[in-house]
Amino acid sequence: MNQYLWIQNGLVIDPDNNREAVGEIFAKDGLIVKDLTDEEKDKATIYDAKNLVVAPGLVDIHVHFREPGQTHKEDIASGSRAAAAGGFTSVVCMPNTNPVCDSVGTLERIKASIEKESVIHIYTTGCLTIGMKGEQLCPTGQLKGAGVVALTDDGLCVQNNEIMRRAVEYATLHKLPIMDHCQDVSLTKDAVMNEGEVSLKLGLKGWPRAAEDIIVARNIILSELTGAHIHMQHVSSYHSVELLRNAKARGIPVTGEASPHHIEFTDECIGDYNTLFKMNPPLRTNKDRLALIEGLKDGTIDCIATDHAPHSNTEKDCEFDKAPFGIIGLENALASTLGTLFHNKELSLKEVIALMTHKGAEICNLPAGNLSIGARADICIFDPNKKWIVNGDDFKSKSRNCPWIGRTLRGQVKATYVEGKEVYRLRV
């Protein structure tokens, strides 16, 4: 591997360092450096980024790579390559594998696969409760020692408030954030989409936004009580946005994320029972969608996260009621987010990049998301204006459950570097 990298002529946008100007980026031995010597420049790999944006490698703190247990959908190798194709250089994997990540043994198995197969930086999370059953706390200290960056029972929200209180207290003792999938399951039994006019029209069981709002409120109360940092995953309800806004105004240490699909689509997209728009939490109304965008604009919602959730074609190709929840989105996340926020003039390019780099990294305390001198040379180079049609046949992911397939998006990743090494380049 060439140990020197020289990226020329690009518009360098590094929000964490308040940098936005045409310039150069240099890397040596995998790290960002201020400059290279003339001799080193002669040996460097050169990338001419004229008319392109050079940004920190993107960061996604909410993905599912399905290893171990469901590798027919995704694995570390395919998931990491999909991430690289989307410009992501650091991701955080959820623990709902098979077996779940509630023990050091399972985590070590995953870490061994990451070391062997991944082309990007993959971080692991551990479960809050054993078996993700919400009944008995996991060995928090052991999981921290094994290298997890957060704790979560993603997909199976802890329902018992006393257990959740103890879980967040122990996590706080070990300086770990808690990431919560906010869902009161007593309100969502057999529900498959947002409760409202569309669910009534389609004759499908509705999922009230109150199921999310109640748990967001619970978590805010517990955060204020214990001082724990609780992060709300894939916020989808306008009322949850308001709850977070009020909590932050009072100095409570809570954060939240929004997914590209929740800020772009609504429950109207389900149309003729299209299972590619079935997700958890469900797509909601335009009022909710606009509230999420406002939350991103005023800082109520801290970052963008994809909730990349691969499923096979056969699993999704069935009746809407029976199809699994979830979609993939790593490979088109930048373009879809740019379309919703930048090209629609909701946020500047610099602000969008911030939501997809250092702001997510800060939630999980990751060494990622900026182009500081001495930082890892993790870089995303993209054309913010290039239009392209999403083609599932081009995906690096094993799965194709993507609602953007066939759509024209604007904003295309050209190259991705991890520690100065090219891990993706668009071939045309």
Which residues are known to be catalytic? Answer: 307
Structure tokens at 316: 């999704």
Nearest Cα residue to 228 out of 251, 254, 250, 247: 254
- Would strands 53-56 and 379-389 be described as parallel, antiparallel, or unpaired? antiparallel
Structure tokens at 419: 């520690």
Report the alpha-carbon distance of residue 238 to residue 228 in Å, rounded: 24
Length of the chain in terms of residues written: 428
* All residues at 6 or more sequence positions from 401 whose CB lies less than 8 Å from its CB, including other chains: 275, 276, 309, 310, 311, 312, 313, 315, 316, 326, 327, 328
